[in-house]
Amino acid sequence: MVRLFEHRLGLYTLVAHDSLKLRIPVLVTLLAIYPLIAVPYVFPRWAALAAISILALLVIFKEKSPVYNNSYIPLGLFLLLVFISSCFSEYPGEAWLGSPGYLTGFITYIFFAILFVFAYSTALKFPVQTDKIIDIWLLSAALIALIGLLQYLGLNLLPLGTDIFKSTKSASTIYNSNDLGTFLLMAFPFAALRFIQGINFRSIMILSLVYGTLLTTLCRSAWVGLVPGVLLLMICCRDKKKVTALLAVMLIVTVLLMPLYNWRILRQMGTFFGEAEMTLAGDPEGGSARSLLWQEGIKALPESVFLGSGADTFYYVSPEKFAARFGEGARAAHKAHNIYLEIAVTMGIPALLAYLWFLFSVLRKTDRSKPRDLAFFLMVIMYMAKGFFLVDVITVYPLFWALIGLYRGLKASGVERKLHLTQNF
């Protein structure tokens, strides 16, 4: 009996080891390598996302180990509603595949769901290794941040129609300053987590790069998302000395970067109040013309309240687009610059409610006294906050789905690492 048990235990260990060898490379490729793809075009990234998602799906089927959690109910409902919306859409090309500049149609949402399930099952089975994956992702984020910071300082290692030695907003390998701001916003809670868990040269550098480059993206929406994250961190963290040290590092980085280029960051911050006042007054110019997009989206809601017009079809349901601002022949806006309005208009209000249900099902029962859980919680809150002003894109959005999958799986695993995961703030 003992020998039989030892044989089965050895066989299980071997299977688990083989499973881990398949899963870790897929997640590392998505989180650490995928955002390093330095191409300014959408299709290569979409093709890479498709390849990673299909590989993840093959691993799920190969292991034949179905895992369930209650987040699948709202997720399944959301996908069903998006599917029905695409079936009845007047713009099937965009609804299924996506608009040319974004490619976030129904098929892409299937990829996102696959990544969520894959990440969930991985974290559920291998919670300790998942913590190491986060560390690898942070190193990749620090490298991306460094490239972006050098761009701001006047050394553009990825020139695209610009002078190599000319200061620009940080965009790095993401090739869009707003999207880089979103990417670094997701990385910030984990950089703060590692700093609080152990103040050393590595944690200080990663935190400084992530936060500093977040400032140099000049992305006000990402800055807005940062505020609730920092406030919640100050409230929830019990080690006030380490929080004070973290805030001191952020202050030093801010002071060093603020005066550069005639106080460019400060001048960008100074536009907050004027833009907000214009937006509240209904001026189409408010929020860098976001007010116009929101007005157009709200106009379209009555016609798409149940099923929407199909995923990624905002281009068609906002007829005035940017023409009111830039004149005839102007490039139309493909997105609402508000993920909630975007989903409501293009996929229907029931789909929006299902999506919010899904996110809150991931957030529920979070023990915010645990550093790891708090970091994931803050990431979701910060992403949702910036979502009122920015769009979801395939350069960053797949990472969000994978990370919340890890979050859900780690909570379900019930396994805590002695040094990092059980240590209370």
Coil, strand or helix: which one is 80?
helix
CA distances from 87 to 81, 93, 347 (A): 10, 11, 11
Coil, strand or helix: which one is 338?
coil
Q: For residues 423 and 373, what is the distance between their CA atoms, to the nearest angstrom?
A: 11
Q: Work out the average pLDDT over 208-212.
A: 98
pLDDT at residue 239 tops 90: no
User: What ranges do the domains of the chain cover?
Assistant: 21-274+336-413
Q: How confident is the model at residue 336 (pLDDT cuts 50, 70, 90)?
A: confident
Q: For residues 59 and 390, what is the distance between their CA atoms, to the nearest angstrom?
A: 33
- The string of pLDDT tens digits covering residues 338-352 is 999 999 999 999 999
Cα 139-187-115 angle, rounded to 5 deg: 90
Q: Work out the average pLDDT over 17-33.
A: 84
Number of other residues whose CB lies within 10 A of the CB of residue 424: 10
Q: Does residue 248 contact residue 234 with C-beta atoms inside 8 Å? A: no
pLDDT at residue 129 tops 80: yes
Q: For residues 193 and 216, what is the distance between their CA atoms, to the nearest angstrom?
A: 22
Local structure of residue 236 (DSSP, 8 states): H
- The string of pLDDT tens digits covering residues 146-180 is 999 999 999 998 877 667 888 889 999 999 999 99
Q: How confident is the model at residue 415 (pLDDT cuts 50, 70, 90)?
A: very low
What's the whole-model pTM score?
0.90
